[in-house]
Amino acid sequence: MSEMDVIFANLRQAADPNTVACIETVVKHGADRDLNRINALAFAGKHHLDEEKTIAAFLHAARIGAFEMTWNVLCPGCGCVLDSGTTLKRVVQDTYHCALCAAGYEPSLDEMVEVTFTVSPRVRRIAAHDPDRLPPLEYYRQIFFGSGMDLPDDLEARFERILLEMIELAPGEKAFVSLQLPAQFVIIFDAVTHSAQFIDVQGEPTDERQNLSMFLSQAHTLNETIALHPGPLRLTFENHTDRRVVPNVCVAGDDLHDLLSQRRAFLTAKRLLTNQSFRDIYRTDTLDVDQRLKITSLTFLFTDLRGSTALYERVGDLPAFDLVRAHFKVLHEIVATEAGAVVKTIGDAVMATFPSPDRAVAAALKMREAMRRLNAEHGSDDLLLKIGIHEGPCLAVNLNDRQDYFGQTVNIASRVQGLADPNVIMATESIIGDSHVSEILRNGGITSVSNMEELHGIGHEVRIFALS
């Protein structure tokens, strides 16, 4: 049995066998491009797989060394990778600058950090393991752009429409390029160093040769826009790095903007942090203690058992403990099925996160029904579950050696749960206002009644909806 066979045999023990079989087939027979920076959501869609099972399978594959997991900081404008690392701990800058977009962005885990998977060289060697040997446009496709870019199969033909010149320069090499500047906005850009120069080509055409020099370095330099006339240009490129560079000169018109606008869903850091499989596998090895990473929208669900102290008194420690443990098991399973993750338990309370409000509401409804079934099985109403849900911005932090969340959104969600009665789910306006939540409530025949409530420690009244 080969090492690859052993690896996939072990992976089948940890993850969904059908998903693993699909991954194994692509590893053995897929193109190199298909195994570099894999977008787990696109992979699931292409092969008709369950997204959560696919994410879990790649996480387990990364754990056993079959794949390498990378966290890529993306430019929300052009979709390029601004920084990349094997851990979220690498995301340490307050602002990331994109030379191509000439803009800076504060990183958030919602849409600016993606997680991708690349096959390990020990399983299969692919061209992207030596990226400086990739053809220039393959470098753009596989290294420069993030997995959220929906690049066409005919990228070369599409790029040809806007390309004036593209060359490769070895480390330390100097080159001269002559070309005709059209009366359009032109960008000179290198995908390796992210060096950019903008040229506003305007005015009367000229027959006299214009000259421009560009020095490519690792400083990610951005030069101010210069104005030149339509006509001949002599470009001088100097590679001041220890890597091959691939500068190109292209027209920044509608064709380029159309190419950069083609997007698809990808596995965000936010979604992965709210994934139960990820939390189970990687536990505390996510954030440094001093990191404070922004999430613009995360949904929190808090639960608690009402009267649990009286329960222990009434039925005895051991039966009560078994009941509470059964309730925890059910809640964990429901959270995982709705793409959520249990952040922590405090006594008989649970704090869970979900990537969107509809997932949290669906989980809450399942929890309520599950508690009814458990109570019916035991012939009593011992498990009285209180549930509160809220959504909003927060910070991902490392707290008490655990990946946790901090902010007013967390506080409000906890307070909302405190208002709940058993079998009545309490949710804020940001939850009920979600269109997908409205559909869930409508299809389920769930009614809601709202009131303005004062929450302890919150400086304003909050509209709370009771779902029954």
213 and 317 housed in the same domain? no
240 and 301 housed in the same domain? no
Taking the CA atoms of the chain, what radius of gyration do you get in angstroms? 27
At 431, list the tokens. Answer: 């939850």
Q: If 0-12 CB within 10 Å is exposed, 13-18 middle and 19+ buried, where does residue 232 land? A: middle
At 169, list the tokens. Answer: 């320069």
Residue 267: inside a domain: no
Beta bridge partners of 36: none
C-alpha 280/C-alpha 286 separation (Å) is 12
Q: What crossing angle do the helices spanning 3-14 and 17-29 adopt, rounded to 10°?
A: 150
This prediction's pTM: 0.89
CATH for 323: 3.30.70.1230
Residue 275: inside a domain: no
Instruction: Write out the residue range of the structural domain in which residue 256 sits.
Output: 158-260
Residue 268: inside a domain: no
User: How many domains does the structure of the chain reveal?
Assistant: 3
Q: How many CA atoms lie within 13 A of 330 on its CB side?
A: 21
Residue 274: inside a domain: no
367 and 225 housed in the same domain? no
Residue 270: inside a domain: no
Other beta carbons less than 10 A from residue 80's beta carbon: 23
What pLDDT shows up at residue 461? 86
pLDDT tens digits in sequence order for the chain, 468 residues long: 688 888 999 999 999 999 999 999 999 999 999 999 999 999 999 999 999 999 999 999 999 999 999 999 999 999 999 999 988 888 888 899 999 998 999 999 998 999 999 999 999 999 999 999 999 999 999 999 999 999 999 999 999 999 999 999 999 999 999 999 999 999 999 999 999 999 999 999 999 999 999 999 987 666 689 999 999 999 999 999 999 999 999 999 999 999 999 999 999 999 999 999 998 888 656 776 667 789 999 999 999 987 666 666 666 667 667 777 888 999 999 999 999 999 999 888 999 999 999 999 999 999 999 988 888 887 777 778 999 999 999 999 887 777 889 999 999 999 999 999 888 899 999 999 999 999 999 999 998 898 888 888 787 888 999 998
Residue 376: inside a domain: yes
Cβ atoms of 179 and 235 closer than 8 Å: yes
Residue 271: inside a domain: no
192 and 302 housed in the same domain? no
* Length of the chain, in residues: 468
Domain end position, chosen among 113, 146, 179? 146
